Amino acid sequence: MATCSATTKRAKTALRLDPLTQSDKEDEVTGWLEDRDITDAWKLAPTLVGAGLDTQWLDSVTDRVPAHLLSNVLAWLTATLTGNGLLNEVEQGVGRISALVKAIKDYSYMDQAPVQEVDVHEGLENTLIILASKLKQGVVVTRDYDRNLPRLNAYGSELNQVWTNLIDNAIAAMNGQGKIWICTKLEHDHVLVQIADNGPGIPPDIQHRIFEPFSLLKV
């Protein structure tokens, strides 16, 4: 029988299945378990399938585990996989929270002077982290960064607010579904940042109003 560590390692690398395939495999595993009188087969099947374990793997288990112990072994294994899954979720959640807190601190230049030597790419990436919940709805971001750009003396937090407004407006205009391109390069003695999207754009009849303060432009 595969060791618990090998099985949990396999679970971590299991591919996420589409709902229909997941359901079909759960039915197969449930049937296999019920044929062998495994207790709570319908409860065990989703966890086993989610861990990338199928009826072929279960067949290999029966070659190594006495029939009268099979139900207990599979129940124990499922509980272990569930515990590891929850632990991984907690670890990932803590990691995301830590990254977000750091991004917000860097984004706002907390505890720093207003004018800083600014890395444009750090500001863009921190902005993308902060907007991650909106981006993951269906927006693909393509980066074309010139990594040789010099640092700038600038109001970092205000510059980041510019990136936020441009990217957030692009997401809203595309209804959360589309593509955003971010390009940086050095043009003569200027740093050029281009942010483009494949949304509908601003209607021509109101383009002349885009620099009006506090104007409400519906695009």
Q: How does DSSP assign the chain, residue by residue? A: ---HHHHHHHHHTPPPPPHHHHHHHHHHHHHHHHHTT-TTHHHHHHHHHHTT--HHHHHHHHTTS-HHHHHHHHHHHHHHHHHHHHHHHHHHHHHHHHHHHHHHHHHHTTTS-SEEEE-HHHHHHHHHHHTHHHHTTTEEEEEE--TTPPPEEEEHHHHHHHHHHHHHHHHHHTTT-EEEEEEEEEETTEEEEEEEE-S----GGGGGGTTSTT-----
pLDDT at 101: 59
Confidence check: pLDDT of 94 > 70: no
**pTM for the complete prediction?**
0.51
Confidence check: pLDDT of 111 > 60: no
Higher pLDDT, 190 or 96: 190
pLDDT at 100: 59
Higher pLDDT, 70 or 124: 124
Q: Is the domain 109-209 a CATH 3.30.565.10 member?
A: yes
What's the pLDDT band for 99 if we cut at 50, 70, 90? low
pLDDT at 85: 57
Confidence check: pLDDT of 3 > 70: no
Higher pLDDT, 181 or 218: 181
Section 110-128 average pLDDT = 81
How confident is the model over 168-184, as pLDDT tens digits? Answer: 888 888 887 889 999 99
What's the pLDDT band for 145 if we cut at 50, 70, 90? very high
What's the pLDDT band for 16 if we cut at 50, 70, 90? low
Mean per-residue pLDDT over the chain, rounded: 76
Section 17-38 average pLDDT = 82
Per domain, the residue ranges of the chain are 4-92, 109-209
Confidence check: pLDDT of 76 > 80: no
Section 40-53 average pLDDT = 80
What's the pLDDT band for 137 if we cut at 50, 70, 90? confident
pLDDT at 129: 83
Confidence check: pLDDT of 188 > 50: yes
